Chains A and B, each alone.
Chain A
């Protein structure tokens, strides 16, 4: 007879000294954990609820300007720094960590319309309605730590006066060149008082300009003749132009897929295009209920933030038709400019109410240094939520947002309008000869033509 029975001596299975960690034994046999799927589901529901409870996206407001904030620029060399320009010509440099003005530049006579920083973060370029382009010396990072200097005035490095008012400015990602938009697109060098090149296509004002992050010589502009144009600096004439039904207010290139850009349109939608194939949008991002004023991509290229005239900020997936997040406060007025921070974890908005607002990019993210256990817990919760996101209960909790009444009403009104238009279209189609009214997707419908 051979016999053995389970025998566990206490010393073997418990700790020896009181300072030791408790011994842990694992057995992943599915028979020991019954109903694991149900438990996982309950955890997913709880995780979704916790996410809602901890969703406190608003970090703080930065006040100081005396007029509406019209434009902002990130400092590519300094994570905490953000520049903002206002309608009264004031330019400020903010420290996002302490939410204070670090440096106030004397600024422009009229409204500041465009701001951008050079690649090394040393030079700030601003332009405005007073027909000047001003270059400023950005104070060094260590100066930013000194708290006292709220009136740390600096003199402009250079002032270049030109023929027309400017609407936007953007600096090349790598190089010495920046472009301004106004009556035409002008290409400037830091050291020249006159543009080195100018492009003109049509007579209308150009309202925004952005350089391509991948190819330093390519830039995209949008103009008030409802067009989006792509320029190549190596060629003497503009490359391509796309005319839409409504004006595009701003353009942002996807930093990770530099052939793609997203246009913030006046018709409440954003349109993602492939710059090589302009006849059809890749994706239409719907949700805003008023004109989209500004757009900025996250450095990861997976999502972008938009600010709208409807007093809200939304965050979209780069390929998602609807927004993932909406931010609003009672006091925030029309949003004119938005920026993603350079680490992709914050969103800054500048609005009509003279304030800059700092938001978290993920509303329920825990700030500060995470312990490994905390991090693992967050990861686990994210994973279970993701696994059960299709179930109605989880979906309902995750999707639910409290909206201000005007937005809510406008959304439902827009829904009625689009539904009515669709119905009308259907009826027309039913009563016309088959094939005479081809179905056009929304991705194409808002495009009038493409010009080369």
Chain B
């Protein structure tokens, strides 16, 4: 006790600067701890408890070390935009920003006007170095964003609905009029994936090497791009759907449907993991925060909703349409409708999004897609008249990790990384709603007795199943309606039987129990000692 008190006095005495530093480090440590430590109180196995305590201590130490090393490992600081006086951040124009920032960054503000092959969709590689562009009317291009060099552009002369890079910039997939195609960076067609059909949206799951697509008929396909195997092919049964987004946290694919529901899928199950009513009206856009806890949906009902994915609850409802949504690495949310792009930010720290910046394109430009460029303070906008790029200070992660995504990657490093990522390729079974569940033990749950209602429901279900069995046509004589009805009735009886038997048994046993209790009660006190005792006593 004495030691503790001493501790607290020390912390009180600490000068304010040190206190501040301490608090800052504590904040950082929290980031690396990945949740709270395990509670070891209830453990009875002393040996295990000791081992786990040591491990917990180790986790704490490593988190602390990571937090301390941050100072040296992370040389760059994030961007910011601060208003002074009566200024408001959302009134600050791109031109004003351009005057303030360095030349290198101001090069990231531009409009490329390509009116002919219009509305453009775009995709970045995970490092943000390369951009793929797809014009609706068949214009495909790859651009090196570092030196603004066009690597390749070509015309496929048919509708292009979506584009997605595969694991690196050398390959990309394009959803065209009838089929899905995979091209390499030189524009050579490598594969034509006919099985996917007329794909509307495409997503690539980096860790699993899966190409997910949703086609015109609402069929969701998962194809392994390393082996070519079709891992999953599921009908959503919710009609045409052109809103698809992967949750980067757990690689679950979310689809937004025209009846306002959002469904979440994994490649190993034909039914959705989650089916939730997000908006009253067709869902027009979806986006996920990179920490996996936050989802934004926009609907035709003029609402943009922010969802907490841990509880599946609405955190915030904002008014407004959005054709497209995107979260940045630092958690800014870009929404765009018509020719107006708005950036929302969470500055209170309590997931309460408010206006941060706005940008209106020239009149008549219809924004098709907004996408934040990873590791840069840049927002890419694909619209009906080409594409644009604007600066959004504070949107990107300032420090990249060379082994995760390196914007300055050399070709040798790229080759090395390809091999490593293939070695670590995850099997499709690892896609779960909670990826931290992998490697943990399933808690043993005692099987409780089903309640009477549950049992009845089960019986009803069994009867329904028996009823719905369609009988084959038999040879003459046996095919009479009366025989058929009889057979059906027999099937129903058979389905009912085990439930009824169980019920009977329970009733009997309860009767016996009652009887026993009754007998004991019946005997007068003086005679109770002569009653037969139980064998166990």
Q: Does A370 contact B (CB under 8 A)?
A: no
A33 touches B84 (CB 8 A): no
Compute how far the CA of A30 lies from the CA of B407 in the bound complex, rounded to whole angstroms. 19
B105 touches A29 (CB 8 A): no
Q: A35-B435, A42-B424 are in contact. Are A27 and B101 (CB under 8 A)?
A: no
Residues of A within 8 A of B403 (CB): 24, 26
Q: A22-B413, A26-B402, A33-B404 are in contact. Are A5 and B84 (CB under 8 A)?
A: no
A34 touches B251 (CB 8 A): yes
Residues of B within 8 A of A41 (CB): 430, 438-439
Compute how far the CA of A5 lies from the CA of B379 in the bound complex, rounded to whole angstroms. 12
Residues from 5 to 50 in A contacting B, C-beta threshold 8 Å:
5-10, 13-14, 22-35, 37-43, 46
Compute how far the CA of A3 lies from the CA of B92 in the bound complex, rounded to whole angstroms. 10
Q: Does B455 contact A (CB under 8 A)?
A: no
Partner of B291, one of A8, A23, A31, A391: A31
B407 touches A8 (CB 8 A): yes
B377 touches A2 (CB 8 A): no
Q: Does A58 contact B (CB under 8 A)?
A: no
Residues of B within 8 A of A9 (CB): 104
Q: Does A140 contact B (CB under 8 A)?
A: no
B404 touches A35 (CB 8 A): no
CB 8 Å contact bits of A368-403 with B (1 = contact, 0 = none): 000000000000000000011011000000000000
Residues from 101 to 155 in B contacting A, C-beta threshold 8 Å:
101-102, 104-105, 146
Partner of B101, one of A4, A14, A24, A388: A4
Residues of B within 8 A of A430 (CB): none
B105 touches A5 (CB 8 A): yes
Residues of A within 8 A of B459 (CB): none
- The stretch among B190-198, B339-347, B390-398 that forms the contact with chain A is B390-398
> Interface centre among B96, B101, B105, B408, by most A CB within 10 Å?
B408
Partner of A22, one of B31, B404, B410, B439: B410
| A363 smallest CB distance to B (angstroms) | 22
CB 8 Å contact bits of B407-427 with A (1 = contact, 0 = none): 110100100000000011111
CB 8 Å contact bits of B56-95 with A (1 = contact, 0 = none): 0000000000100110011111111111100100001000
Partner of B399, one of A1, A23, A25, A42: A25
Residues of A within 8 A of B76 (CB): 6, 8
Q: Does B249 contact A (CB under 8 A)?
A: yes
B439 touches A388 (CB 8 A): yes
Q: Does B501 contact A (CB under 8 A)?
A: no
B435 touches A37 (CB 8 A): yes
CB 8 Å contact bits of B298-327 with A (1 = contact, 0 = none): 000000000000000000000000000000
| A435 smallest CB distance to B (angstroms) | 15
Compute how far the CA of A28 lies from the CA of B251 in the bound complex, rounded to whole angstroms. 20
Residues from 431 to 448 in B contacting A, C-beta threshold 8 Å:
435-436, 438-439, 441
A25 touches B400 (CB 8 A): yes
Compute how far the CA of A24 lies from the CA of B403 in the bound complex, rounded to whole angstroms. 8
Partner of A35, one of B92, B101, B251, B399: B251
B435 touches A5 (CB 8 A): no
Residues of A within 8 A of B6 (CB): none
Partner of A37, one of B32, B74, B405, B438: B438
CB 8 Å contact bits of A92-126 with B (1 = contact, 0 = none): 00000000000000000000000000000000000
Report the number of A-B residue pairs with Cβ-Cβ less than 8 Å.
143
CB 8 Å contact bits of B169-213 with A (1 = contact, 0 = none): 000000000000000000000000000000000000001000000
Q: Does B376 contact A (CB under 8 A)?
A: yes
**A387 and chain B: residue at smallest CB distance:** B439
Q: Does B290 contact A (CB under 8 A)?
A: yes
Partner of A29, one of B31, B87, B101, B402: B31
**A39 and chain B: residue at smallest CB distance:** B424
Q: A30-B34, A391-B439 are in contact. Are A13 and B408 (CB under 8 A)?
A: yes
Residues of B within 8 A of A27 (CB): 73-74, 397, 399-401, 404
Compute how far the CA of A7 lies from the CA of B290 in the bound complex, rounded to whole angstroms. 22
**B92 and chain A: residue at smallest CB distance:** A1
A35 touches B426 (CB 8 A): yes
Compute how far the CA of A41 lies from the CA of B292 in the bound complex, rounded to whole angstroms. 20
| B210 smallest CB distance to A (angstroms) | 13
| A342 smallest CB distance to B (angstroms) | 31
Partner of A30, one of B31, B83, B396, B413: B31
Residues of B within 8 A of A390 (CB): 441
Compute how far the CA of A388 lies from the CA of B74 in the bound complex, rounded to whole angstroms. 31
Residues of A within 8 A of B84 (CB): 1-2
Q: How big is the A interface, by class? A: 35 or more
Residues of A within 8 A of B441 (CB): 390
Compute how far the CA of A42 lies from the CA of B430 in the bound complex, rounded to whole angstroms. 9
| A377 smallest CB distance to B (angstroms) | 12
Q: Does B250 contact A (CB under 8 A)?
A: yes
B398 touches A6 (CB 8 A): yes
Q: A5-B105, A7-B101 are in contact. Are A32 and B426 (CB under 8 A)?
A: no
B404 touches A6 (CB 8 A): no
Residues of A within 8 A of B407 (CB): 8, 13
CB 8 Å contact bits of A140-174 with B (1 = contact, 0 = none): 00000000000000000000000000000000000
Residues of B within 8 A of A28 (CB): 32, 66, 69-70, 73, 401
Compute how far the CA of A32 lies from the CA of B397 in the bound complex, rounded to whole angstroms. 9
| A381 smallest CB distance to B (angstroms) | 12
Residues of B within 8 A of A31 (CB): 290-291, 329
A4 touches B393 (CB 8 A): yes
Residues of A within 8 A of B290 (CB): 31, 34
Partner of A6, one of B74, B79, B410: B79
Q: Does B463 contact A (CB under 8 A)?
A: no
B291 touches A4 (CB 8 A): no
B401 touches A3 (CB 8 A): no
**B63 and chain A: residue at smallest CB distance:** A28
Compute how far the CA of A10 lies from the CA of B399 in the bound complex, rounded to whole angstroms. 14
Residues of A within 8 A of B423 (CB): 46
Partner of A7, one of B32, B102, B399: B102
> Interface centre among B96, B292, B435, by most A CB within 10 Å?
B435
| A150 smallest CB distance to B (angstroms) | 48
Residues of B within 8 A of A5 (CB): 79, 97, 101, 105, 377, 391, 393
A38 touches B426 (CB 8 A): yes
B100 touches A1 (CB 8 A): yes
Residues of B within 8 A of A40 (CB): 439
> Interface centre among B77, B396, B400, B441, by most A CB within 10 Å?
B400
Partner of B80, one of A2, A29, A34, A38: A2
A25 touches B439 (CB 8 A): no
**B74 and chain A: residue at smallest CB distance:** A27
Compute how far the CA of A439 lies from the CA of B136 in the bound complex, rounded to whole angstroms. 80
A1 touches B82 (CB 8 A): yes
A26 touches B408 (CB 8 A): no
Compute how far the CA of A390 lies from the CA of B438 in the bound complex, rounded to whole angstroms. 12
Residues of B within 8 A of A8 (CB): 76, 407-408
CB 8 Å contact bits of B3-45 with A (1 = contact, 0 = none): 0000000000000000000000000000110100000000000
Listed by A's residue number, 30 A-B pairs whose Cβ atoms lie within 8 Å are A1-B81, A1-B82, A1-B96, A2-B82, A3-B80, A4-B79, A5-B105, A5-B393, A6-B79, A7-B102, A8-B76, A22-B410, A24-B402, A24-B403, A25-B74, A25-B75, A26-B73, A26-B402, A27-B73, A32-B401, A32-B404, A33-B404, A34-B207, A34-B250, A35-B207, A37-B436, A38-B435, A40-B439, A387-B439, A390-B441
**What would 13 more interface pairs be, CB under 8 Å, given A6-B398, A13-B408?**
A1-B96, A4-B79, A5-B101, A5-B377, A8-B408, A22-B402, A25-B75, A25-B400, A26-B402, A30-B34, A34-B249, A41-B438, A43-B424
Q: Which residues of A are in contact with B by a Cβ distance under 8 Å? A: 1-10, 13-14, 22-35, 37-43, 46, 387-388, 390-391
Q: Which residues of B are in contact with A by a Cβ distance under 8 Å? A: 31-32, 34, 66, 69-70, 73-84, 87, 92, 96-97, 100-102, 104-105, 146, 207, 248-251, 290-292, 329, 375-377, 391, 393, 396-408, 410, 413, 423-427, 430, 435-436, 438-439, 441
Nearest first, the 4 closest Cβ-Cβ pairs linking A and B are A38-B430, A5-B377, A5-B79, A27-B401
